[in-house]
Amino acid sequence: MECRFCQLRKERVKIVYEDQWVSLFFDMDPISKGHALVIPNEHYLDIDDVPDPVLEQIWKCAKVYVNLLKHYFKPAGYSLMQNGGAFNDIGHFHLHVFPRHSSEEFAWTYTEEVDPTATDFRALRDLLQQPLSQAMAAESM
């Protein structure tokens, strides 16, 4: 059986950004509005499986995305998180990128109510898709 993220890449409709190495899409169960995942297009489990040029592009995408989050959502800060081995629940490397606001206490298991607009993925995609592609293209120059 194919992994969820390899499947999602085939569906394409949920992808916010993609290039030949990486894809970015929204976490379906967001910790905060704008919570995204950056993945290598190829299936790798852990950071030490991912080739360096792909890792470089993952970090570049995370950097560009953080910059957009600051611009659009004015968070107090942000977090990057990556779980490996048995703690990689999908089995496909993914880097979490999410904005954090000073009013939120972050915990991986959370019960607080999340901003309902955080799951309006269509609106988020409309807002962020084009600037992200433009910023990634500018980074590559």
Which parts of this chain interact with Zn ion (CB under 5 A)?
3, 5-6, 43, 92
Shortest Å distance, C-beta 3 to Zn ion = 3
* Nearest residue (CB) to Zn ion, 43 versus 101: 43
* Nearest residue (CB) to Zn ion, 19 versus 42: 42
* Nearest residue (CB) to Zn ion, 88 versus 119: 88
Shortest Å distance, C-beta 135 to Zn ion = 26
Please, are residues 69 and 75 in contact by the beta-carbon 8 Å criterion?
yes
* Nearest residue (CB) to Zn ion, 77 versus 84: 84
E strand or H helix at 90: none
Shortest Å distance, C-beta 42 to Zn ion = 8
* Nearest residue (CB) to Zn ion, 41 versus 129: 41
Shortest Å distance, C-beta 45 to Zn ion = 9
Q: Which amino acid is at 141?
A: M
Distance CA 44, CA 94 (A): 9
Angle at 62 between CA 57 and CA 66, to 5 degrees: 150
Shortest Å distance, C-beta 50 to Zn ion = 12
- Reported for 53-59, long-range contacts at CB under 8 A and 24+ positions apart, including other chains, are 53/21, 54/21, 54/22, 57/19, 57/21, 57/22, 58/21, 58/22, 58/95
